[in-house]
């Protein structure tokens, strides 16, 4: 296994939705032993601590869109952090809600463009997050990152997306909660979507491997964004957007093991962990285990955990 330099970037983003708690996520991952898990696989680990958003005007929240200015501040800071970290290694963004991906993916796309390579995005999530601030009924910006980094209009005052990710370079797996506006927009897009019915009927390896073949053929870079709600809430309860019928533990590990086997992943988001909703850290530990699988841990290396 090739050793990587993994850069842990704390992104305690809690502005993408109204339910508080994701700001505790980065420290929960650290407490669950993410650095030690990666070091045990032969990787070097650098933890740069928790970032803060760029200076921004205070949000009044007197309109539908929640915490727009704070999220803009986070987007600017995380885009630069992603671009800088990719110069040195493989960034792992410890979230934080999914609005952090407005910045992490935009920054990864900027770096890929400098390298003359296309960026591909694997979106592991119950939701498509393909809204814009103008189309969102909730006003929660954690539902907008894919719309942002693919270049949809409607992101007034956000940093300009200099290198939009082509829609055909985005693959979504695990979908099971898509509202009407998102569905109609996706039907007009080139984004690959695989809902849980498709996974139930065909398995999870096939669509993933076909996507990875496309990445490899294009000599692309691959950003993986893993949302806690990709998993079934029976095994990962620490998320404010639970949707029954998600991926099993084994399906999720298979995805991560295939990712490692491909050798294609160049950056990673771990998002939407809300430790306030967890059960004795079980979700944080599972997400750390999945991260380790994506970076080389095999079945026989995986410790057995007890929650007794």
Find all residues with CB under 8 Å of 207, minimum gap 6, and list them.
171, 173, 192, 194, 198, 199
Yes or no: say if 150 and 182 are a contact pair by the CB < 8 Å rule.
no
From its phi and psi, is residue 75 left (phi > 0), alpha (psi between -120 and 50) or beta? alpha
Distances in Å between the alpha carbon of 61 and those of 15, 67, 69, 96, 176?
A: 11, 6, 10, 20, 29
Active site residues: 98, 125, 127, 129, 142, 227, 229, 272
Backbone angles phi, psi at 275, to 5 degrees: -60, -25
Find all residues with CB under 8 Å of 193, minimum gap 6, and list them.
128, 172, 175, 186
CA distance 225 to 205: 17
3-state secondary structure of 164: coil
Yes or no: say if 94 and 22 are a contact pair by the CB < 8 Å rule.
no
User: String of b and e for 273-293 (b: at least 16 CB within 10 Å)?
Assistant: bbbebbeebbbbbbbbbbbbb
CA distance 170 to 38: 27
In 3D space, the residue among 95, 106, 17 whose CA is nearest the CA of residue 51 turns out to be: 95
Element (H, E) at 94: strand 90-95
Find all residues with CB under 8 Å of 39, minimum gap 6, and list them.
45
């Amino acid at each position: 296994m090739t050793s990587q330099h993994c850069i842990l970037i704390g992104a305690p983003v809690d502005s993408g939705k109204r339910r508080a708690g994701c700001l505790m996520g980065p420290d929960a991952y650290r407490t669950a032993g993410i650095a030690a898990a990666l070091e045990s696989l032969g990787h070097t680990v650098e933890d740069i601590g928790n970032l803060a958003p760029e200076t921004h005007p205070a949000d009044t929240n007197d309109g539908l869109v929640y915490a727009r200015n704070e999220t803009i501040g986070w987007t600017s800071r995380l885009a630069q952090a992603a671009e800088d970290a990719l110069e040195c290694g493989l960034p792992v963004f410890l979230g934080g809600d999914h609005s952090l991906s407005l910045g992490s993916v935009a920054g990864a796309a900027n770096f890929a463009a400098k390298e003359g390579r296309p960026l591909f995005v694997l979106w592991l999530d119950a939701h498509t997050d393909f809204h814009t601030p103008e189309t969102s009924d909730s006003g929660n910006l954690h539902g907008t990152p894919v719309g942002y980094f693919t270049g949809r209009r409607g992101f007034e005052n956000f940093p300009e997306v200099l290198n939009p990710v082509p829609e055909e370079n985005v693959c979504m797996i695990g979908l099971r909660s898509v509202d009407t506006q998102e569905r109609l927009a996706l039907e007009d897009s080139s984004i690959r979507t695989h809902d849980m019915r498709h996974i139930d009927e065909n398995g999870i390896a096939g669509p993933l491997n076909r996507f990875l073949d496309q990445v490899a053929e294009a000599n692309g870079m691959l950003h993986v964004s893993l949302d806690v709600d990709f998993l079934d809430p029976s095994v990962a309860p620490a998320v404010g957007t639970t949707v029954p019928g998600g991926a099993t533990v084994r399906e999720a590990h298979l995805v991560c093991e295939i990712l490692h086997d491909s050798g294609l992943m160049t950056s990673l988001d771990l998002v939407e962990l809300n430790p306030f909703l967890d059960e004795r850290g079980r979700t944080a530990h599972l997400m750390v285990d999945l991260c380790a699988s994506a970076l080389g841990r095999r079945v026989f290396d995986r410790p057995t955990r007890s929650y007794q």
